[in-house]
């Protein structure tokens, strides 16, 4: 894992910028319930229209800031993750090119294709999600509890009690999801293997009139991939 993320060092500036913009967006969003409470308590209840306009303007301005920070965070995270994926894919391709014949024969061609395409894309997407969302989730939980304690102390205590329960639930679901996606990966290798065999031996398939058999075979593996993917995404 350390070797994988060593590729991200080249893009540490946009990665850090993405995290900073995400923190700015999160901070502004968490402050909005407090601003709304100010509008209600000091403006509407006191029937002071000037206070409503004041805090309402601050609320609109904070929404604009959060929107711009979110766009900036996505931009920098995309730049870092796409560059990471490009460098990783190039490194893997060079590694495959350097394989000796005995080493190359240990890997199925379909498996190598999957590693260079689908797997790298998944790692690339994971980097983007980490910069944009995964680091955001625990901060949202902590920040929400703090702001809830500020706005309504009893409600904040309730959230503080429920947070560990939700954390355990999410952890269990993540472990189960990892197992399911490993099965999806194996099924994807099977589908790629069938495609490769059909493209390589297309003349023999036509000579021996095996088209229907190969179509049914592909449909079988494609169906298994679909079922596994649906189960994992649920």
pLDDT for 3 equals 67
196 has pLDDT over 80: no
| pTM (2 d.p.) | 0.69
Phi (first) and psi of residue 46, to 5 degrees:
-85, 0
CA-wise closest residue to 131 among 71, 81, 67, 170:
81
By C-alpha distance, which of 77, 179, 164, 87 is closest to 129?
Answer: 77
Question: In the structure, what pLDDT confidence band is assigned to residue 123 with cuts at 50, 70 and 90?
Answer: confident
Give residue limits of the domains in the chain. 1-151, 164-234
Examine the pLDDT at 182 and tell me if it is beyond 80. no
CATH of 1-151, one of 1.10.150.120, 1.20.1560.10, 3.40.640.10, 1.10.10.10: 1.20.1560.10
Distance CA 125, CA 182 (A): 17
- Rounded distance between C-alpha atoms, residue 125 and residue 128, angstroms: 5
183-219 CB burial, b ≥16 within 10 A, e <16: bbbebbbbbbbbeebbeeeeeebeeeeeeeeeeeeee
Q: Is the pLDDT of residue 220 over 80?
A: yes
Averaged pLDDT for residues 143-162? 78
Report the distance separating Cα 230 and Cα 234, nearest Å: 6
Q: Which residues of 127-149 are buried (b: 16+ CB within 10 A; e: fewer)?
A: bbebbbeebbeeeebebbbebbe
| Full DSSP string of 146-178 | HHHHHH-HHHHHHHHHHHHHHHHHHHHHHHHHH
Question: What local confidence, expressed as pLDDT, does residue 17 receive?
Answer: 94
> Does the pLDDT at position 197 exceed 90?
no
What tens digit of pLDDT does each residue of 35-66 get?
888 888 888 888 888 888 998 899 999 999 99
25 and 66 in contact (C-beta within 8 Å)? yes
Mean pLDDT for the chain?
83
């Amino acid at each position: 894992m350390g070797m994988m993320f060593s590729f991200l060092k080249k893009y540490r500036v946009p990665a850090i910028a993405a995290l900073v913009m995400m923190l700015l967006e999160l901070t502004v969003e968490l402050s909005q319930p407090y601003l709304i409470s100010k509008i209600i308590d000091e403006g509407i209840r006191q029937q002071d229209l000037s206070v409503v306009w004041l805090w309402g303007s601050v609320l609109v301005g904070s929404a604009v800031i959060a929107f711009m920070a979110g766009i900036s965070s996505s931009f920098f995270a995309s730049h870092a993750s796409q560059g990471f994926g490009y460098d990783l894919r190039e490194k893997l391709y060079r590694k495959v090119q350097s394989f000796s014949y005995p080493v190359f024969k240990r890997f199925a061609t379909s498996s190598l294709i999957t590693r260079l395409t689908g797997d790298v894309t998944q790692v690339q997407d994971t980097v983007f999600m980490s910069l944009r969302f995964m680091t955001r989730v625990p901060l949202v939980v902590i920040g929400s509890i703090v702001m809830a304690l500020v706005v309504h102390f009893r409600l904040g205590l309730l959230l503080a009690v429920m947070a560990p329960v939700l954390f355990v639930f999410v952890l269990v679901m993540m472990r189960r999801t990892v197992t399911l996606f490993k099965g999806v990966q194996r099924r994807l290798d099977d589908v790629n293997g069938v495609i490769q065999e059909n493209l390589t031996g297309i003349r023999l398939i036509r000579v021996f009139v095996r088209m229907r058999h190969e179509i049914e075979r592909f449909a079988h593996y494609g169906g298994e991939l679909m079922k596994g993917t649906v189960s994992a995404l649920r």
